[in-house]
Amino acid sequence: MLVFFSVDQIIPFVVKQKTGRMTFSGIYILTVILIFVGEGQAQQFFRSTSDSIKYRKTVIAISDTLFNNPRADTYELTRLAESYIVKDIPRFKKGYYAFYNDLMQSNRPDTIRHIGLYNLRIRRIPRQVFKCKNLTELDISGCKIRRLPNALNDLKRLEILVINKSKLRRLKIDVSENNSIKELDLAYNNLKKIPIDLIKLKSMEYLNISGNKVKRIPKFLSDCEKLTAINLSFNRVRDNDLELTTNLHIRSLNLSHNKLTDIPFTLSSFSNLEELSLSYNKIKIFRTKLGTNGYRY
């Protein structure tokens, strides 16, 4: 039996050269052992056995890299390792999610607040989900669901919706208008466009669409009045592809790991912006656009 540690559990062991009397090499050996042996640790879901093997090899590669150079940049490898996992549930959250069998066997669906349906060959959200009237989080990662039904509006307390690593190319949202969902996570899919149906989520505050193939950031996101944070890292956005040129509500915008060569908008148009990530792009000259005041170098 193989027991895998999540990357965030392993790295803290590795990045420190000494912890008390333990040397760095000792920590390295311990880290490798912990990949194979352990009990009661994180519960992880993979799409396939091959993905679990790739994950293990990538984690070992991270350990090898840090063993040779403790200051090495392993961010790309860490992201790669994460991409192989459909869901990583830490030990302290054991029992936090109701899985498929729990959902189907429950006599009290009103007591279920968090549902995790991982890596299932289902194309529709099970009807039993809509009986969970106090549901606050629905995670359907790794499934084949491509359409969100109008019945989601019956879940008045649903705030978090996660559809990661599902090979999504399109997402159809059939709801006329939704006023409960605050966080939508569509990371690690195959989306080339941000679904226009997102404007139906009137209470959406956070959008994570990292790790897709998105090239354009559409203007309609300006109409999402409660949207304060967008994660668009690891996509294919270029300078002229940012149609979203103003939004007075956005406070955090992550555009790292794209194909930008300049800041493609005027910062003064985002007056409440507090955090802007542009790392790992192709920006050679940093210049801040200040609206009618021109450029500041």
Whole-number percent of the chain with pLDDT over 90? 57
Which is higher by pLDDT, 176 or 37?
A: 176
Please measure the distance between the N-terminal and C-terminal CA atoms of the chain and give it in whole angstroms. Answer: 57
Among the residue ranges 2-6, 245-249, 269-273, the one predicted with the least confidence is 2-6
Query: Does residue 16 have a pLDDT over 70?
Result: no
Per-residue model confidence as pLDDT tens digits over 183-216: 999 999 999 999 999 999 999 999 999 999 999 9
Which is higher by pLDDT, 279 or 30?
A: 279
Using an 8 Å Cβ cutoff, are 237 and 258 in contact?
Answer: yes
* Residue 216 CA from chain centroid, whole number: 19
Query: Does residue 180 have a pLDDT over 80?
Result: yes
- DSSP characters over 276-297: EE--SS---S--EE-GGG-EE-
Using an 8 Å Cβ cutoff, are 189 and 212 in contact?
Answer: yes
Average pLDDT over residues 66-92: 89
49-68 and 7-15 helices, crossing angle to 10°: 20
Would you state the pLDDT for residue 245?
67
Given pLDDT bands bounded at 50, 70 and 90, which one contains residue 24?
A: very low
H-helix or E-strand spanning residue 84: none
Average pLDDT over residues 96-124: 96
